[in-house]
Amino acid sequence: MKISGIKGMNDILPEEIEVWHFLEHCVREVFHAFGFKEIRVPVLEKTELFSRSIGEETDIVSKEMYTFFDKSDHSLTLRPEGTASVMRSFIEHQLHKTSQISKLYYVGPMFRYERPQKGRYRQFYQIGAEVIGEDNPLVDAQLLIMLDHFFKRIGIEDVQLQVNSIGCPECRPRYRQALLDFLGDKLELLCGDCNRRYQNNPLRVLDCKVEGCGKACQDAPSVLDYLCEGCSRHFDTVQQLLNDLKVPFSVNPRMVRGLDYYTKTTFEMVTGSLGAQNALAAGGRYDGLIESLGGPSLPGIGFAIGMERLVLMKGRDSVLASGIDIFLAALGEKSVEKSFFLLSGLQKHGIQAEMDFSGKSLKAQLRRADKAKARYVLILGEDELGRNQAQLKDMEKGSQETVSLENIESFLLDLLS
Ligand code: HAM
């Protein structure tokens, strides 16, 4: 019986890999320019790491984690996001002491047991960035400038930055209470999930997608009216800096994030092109997270971008698949042997060279060269070999010339490098 892949977990096939490589290339180019260093952490962590940082009551922890017991009866979880793991690693290796590195980025798969649909998967890739140790609003602005620049670099235009501030442990309880008071007599209008959220996580009611909940929240109090002086000043400065640096944004006081660790600035990059899964990137400040995980009292801020959503936006084959440098078309045993040695020599020098080993006709070999988008084809027939010559075809120009096989490797290396 045929075994198929797991629902919501996708293969990324060779024909679509170019756009992934392009995105990964742009991440390194842009993030390195902004002073970020890559970190790679395991996909498995102790379950407690996520329940403590993301929050027991969140959808992610309460419904969506891939959790299991290993053979030693330890509860482990496939990471549903990267921030918690990166903070765990930062604390464990005392990166604030052992190195001056405080800007980290990562690219890798995350796992959430969600209902799969276009743009929402059970294994999905994130590009994430975290800045640790600075609570200056300049850092918030710089991160958003980098995000804005990244989207420009990859050529995605239909994207809008929305920002909000959800306050801090000093001011948020006052807002929470105001929201509870407001929603108290509207519980019958809210969906079942929101009735549960009302008890545990009332801010999440604000971004419920159910129509009735949206209507019930229409006149809900705005979090921005409840910010303490520090949070308010911080948010004003972030907006001022974005304006000064001409980064377009709008303020969305309804934006609450689905993870509990956020404080102050939160943001999302949304698009009108992807239907319900409209967030291409999201993030915010998490000033209490590191301490709550047993680390030093250091603030942090970061974001993560959903790579599948970028690929959907760009189109799978938007980045032209690059062709090979040269195809060696050989006819007859001796030519195949000669070409094979030449092939290995070229490949060792980093030239993308290919040949056919199956003794097909010249026509069939040229078809294969065409498919491989070869820049040149070197045709080596028996007669030509006798004259120590070959035909070199320039596939772009359509021209052909006779070349000597004397020093052919260095001749081709000069031509192709
Ligand atoms: P998040 O909002 O849960 O935040 O996810 C960030 C982005 O990952 C989303 O905007 C979306 O593009 C993508 N994403 C999330 N779930 C899925 C899914 N099931 N399928 C496809 N794409 C998905 C975080 O994960 C935070 N760790 C971000 C962060 C970093 N905050 C501070 N630092």
Domains located in the chain, CATH noted = 17-171+227-314 (3.30.930.10), 326-416 (3.40.50.800)
Residues 362 and 391: beta-carbon distance below 8 Å: no
Query: What number does the ligand 1 atom closest to the CA of 114 have?
Result: 19
For ligand 1, atom 8, name the residue with the nearest CA.
306
112 Cα–ligand 1 center, Å: 10
Tens digit of pLDDT for each residue in 258-316?
899 999 999 999 999 998 889 999 999 999 999 999 999 999 999 999 999 999 999 86
Rounded distance between C-alpha atoms, residue 305 and residue 281, angstroms: 4
220: left (phi over 0), alpha (psi -120 to 50) or beta: beta
- Which residues, other chains included, contact 89 with Cβ-Cβ below 8 Å and sequence gap of 6+? 39, 41, 95
Structure tokens at 285: 């400040």
121 pocket-lining for ligand 1 (C-beta < 6 Å)? yes
Tens digit of pLDDT for each residue in 147-177?
999 999 999 999 999 999 999 999 999 999 9
Tens digit of pLDDT for each residue in 361-413?
999 999 999 999 999 999 999 998 999 999 999 999 999 999 999 999 999 99
267 Cα–ligand 1 center, Å: 12
267 pocket-lining for ligand 1 (C-beta < 6 Å)? no
pLDDT the model gives residue 147: 97
Residues 260 and 57: beta-carbon distance below 8 Å: yes
Gap between the terminal Cα atoms of the chain: 49
At residue 179, φ and ψ (nearest 5 deg) are -70, -40
Tens digit of pLDDT for each residue in 111-122?
999 999 999 999
Tens digit of pLDDT for each residue in 58-101?
899 999 999 999 999 999 999 999 999 999 999 999 998 877 76
Rounded distance between C-alpha atoms, residue 37 and residue 39, angstroms: 7
Tens digit of pLDDT for each residue in 29-56?
999 999 999 999 999 999 999 999 999 9
178 Cα–ligand 1 center, Å: 28
309 pocket-lining for ligand 1 (C-beta < 6 Å)? yes
pLDDT the model gives residue 200: 86
- Number of helices (H), then strands (E), belonging to the chain: the values are 16, 16
Percentage of residues in the chain having pLDDT higher than 70: 99
For ligand 1, atom 23, name the residue with the nearest CA.
306
315 Cα–ligand 1 center, Å: 20
Higher model confidence: residue 291 or residue 57?
Answer: 291
pLDDT the model gives residue 168: 96
Q: Is 105 exposed, middle or buried (0-12, 13-18, 19+ CB in 10 A)?
A: buried
Query: What number does the ligand 1 atom closest to the CA of 82 have?
Result: 27
281 Cα–ligand 1 center, Å: 7
